């Protein structure tokens, strides 16, 4: 089945540093990937849609200069949290949709980001 790999699974870093999270579709090509944020015991909130070869589409209220998204190939999208602060601590999950037809989104295992 379709596999999405997300790396790292857990990261702890100091306030002010930047953190890059990778999302890879391992056995299919994805022109579109999605980035979600999930707070404890809450649902997933869409942050942005990552489009291969073009700029990402951000949801209302999401700072594009804070959360940089790069979708350089059909199998890789990256989310960089720039100058991270404790309020950016969260669980970040990516998903990817196969190019063909009505395929559902397949999710990575998420990245637990903790900013000290």
Partner 1 sequence: AQSVTQLDSQVPVFEEAPVELRCNYSSSVSVYLFWYVQYPNQGLQLLLKYLSGSTLVKGINGFEAEFNKSQTSFHLRKPSVHISDTAEYFCAVSLNTGRRALTFGSGTRLQVQP
**Which residues sit at the interface with partner 1, rule CB under 8 A?**
4, 6, 32, 34, 42-46, 49, 57, 91, 93, 95, 97, 102, 104-110, 112
63 vs 109, which CB is nearer to partner 1? 109
- 111 - beta bridge partners? 92
DSSP state of 112: E
Q: How far apart are CA 111 and CA 94, in angstroms?
A: 9
CB of 79 to partner 1, least distance (A): 14
User: Residue 17's CB: how many other CB atoms inside 10 A?
Assistant: 14
45 vs 82, which CB is nearer to partner 1? 45
CB of 107 to partner 1, least distance (A): 4
Q: How many CA atoms lie within 13 A of 3 on its CB side?
A: 4
10 vs 18, which CB is nearer to partner 1? 10
52 vs 82, which CB is nearer to partner 1? 52
Q: How far is CA 62 from the centre of its chain?
A: 13
* Six token digits for residue 81: 């949290």
CB of 55 to partner 1, least distance (A): 13
């Amino acid at each position: 089945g379709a596999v999405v790999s997300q790396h790292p699974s857990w990261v702890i870093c100091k306030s002010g540093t930047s953190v890059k999270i990778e999302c890879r579709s391992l056995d299919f090509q994805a022109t579109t990937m999605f980035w979600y944020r999930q707070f404890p015991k809450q649902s997933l909130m869409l942050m942005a849609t990552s489009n291969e070869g073009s700029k990402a589409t951000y949801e209302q209220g999401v700072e594009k200069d804070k959360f940089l998204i790069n979708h350089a190939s059909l199998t890789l999208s990256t989310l960089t949290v720039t100058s991270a602060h404790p309020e950016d601590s969260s669980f970040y999950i990516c998903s990817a949709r196969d190019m063909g037809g009505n395929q559902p989104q397949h999710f990575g295992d998420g990245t637990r980001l903790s900013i000290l």
